[in-house]
Amino acid sequence: MTHQSMTAVEALAAFARRHTDGEAAQALVDEATRELTGRTVVRPEQQLVPLRFVLRRRRDISGISGLGDVADGVLWPDGTAAVRWRGEHPSTVHWDRGRASVEMIHGHQGATEIVFVDQDDEQPAPPSTAASGSAAAPLVVRRVLEHALNKPVPCPKCERTAPCRCIADRTDGRIDVVLGALAPWLTTSSGEAA
């Protein structure tokens, strides 16, 4: 039985701690948060950075915003996004469900795409230094991986990259995207590219 002043998350964590260790209980709460809110719990010790993007419009369906880079955005480490529109009447909107919401609302079925912008001072690390040793991956590799993890993957049933009503597992597509993004930094034990 839960105490009346406990939130649902606190009650879930207390229940989980009775059946498993604290780390596993926290992982369960974090996963429930991700599923229910669409955002990831980011801990202070994690070295995650926001990713900048633009909304690039190829067709102006509404006839209002024009063509080209019509908005600037930030994808926050927890998966939420903020978009600031350009033009005479700018506005800012925040999306708790991040990229999925931005694509669903502003993508206009492919007429507008999210294009991520790299930091000017980031240079790709040579494959030999990124793959050797046990040091943390360079920032550019982390960015490439985070971008790959957030890249839309087509549904194997209906081929849509936006959220759909199919109940299909996109895991294989996600793995292919991640491996493709990391391929330049992966080497085999003989030093050859993977």
Does the pLDDT at position 185 exceed 60? yes
Q: What is the DSSP letter of 187?
A: B
190 lies in some domain: no
What integer pLDDT is reported at residue 62 of this predicted model?
74
Q: How far apart are CA 67 and CA 83, in angstroms?
A: 16
Q: How far apart are CA 107 and CA 53, in angstroms?
A: 14
As for how many domains the chain has, the answer is 3
What are 160-169's pLDDT values in tens digits?
877 777 777 7
Among 73, 99, 117, where does a domain finish? Answer: 117
Does the pLDDT at position 194 exceed 60? no
Strand 68-75 with 81-85, pairing? antiparallel
Provide the whole-model pTM.
Answer: 0.49
Instruction: Write out the residue range of the structural domain in which residue 157 sits.
Output: 127-185
What integer pLDDT is reported at residue 127 of this predicted model?
42
What integer pLDDT is reported at residue 122 of this predicted model?
47
Query: What is the average per-residue pLDDT within 7-35?
Result: 78
What are 51-105's pLDDT values in tens digits?
899 998 888 777 777 788 999 999 998 889 999 999 888 999 998 888 888 888 8
57 lies in some domain: yes
Does 149 lie in the same domain as 131?
Answer: yes
Residues in the chain: 194
Q: What is the overall mean pLDDT for the chain?
A: 75
C-alpha closest to that of 191 among 148, 122, 128: 128
Does the pLDDT at position 24 exceed 60? yes
What integer pLDDT is reported at residue 92 of this predicted model?
95
Does 180 lie in the same domain as 151?
Answer: yes
What are 117-144's pLDDT values in tens digits?
855 344 434 444 444 444 556 666 667 7
Does 161 lie in the same domain as 141?
Answer: yes
Give CA separation, 58 vs 54, 72, 162, in Å. 13, 15, 18
Query: What is the average per-residue pLDDT within 35-39?
Result: 74
C-alpha closest to that of 103 among 167, 23, 160: 160
Contact 101, 112 (CB under 8 A): no
What integer pLDDT is reported at residue 81 of this predicted model?
93
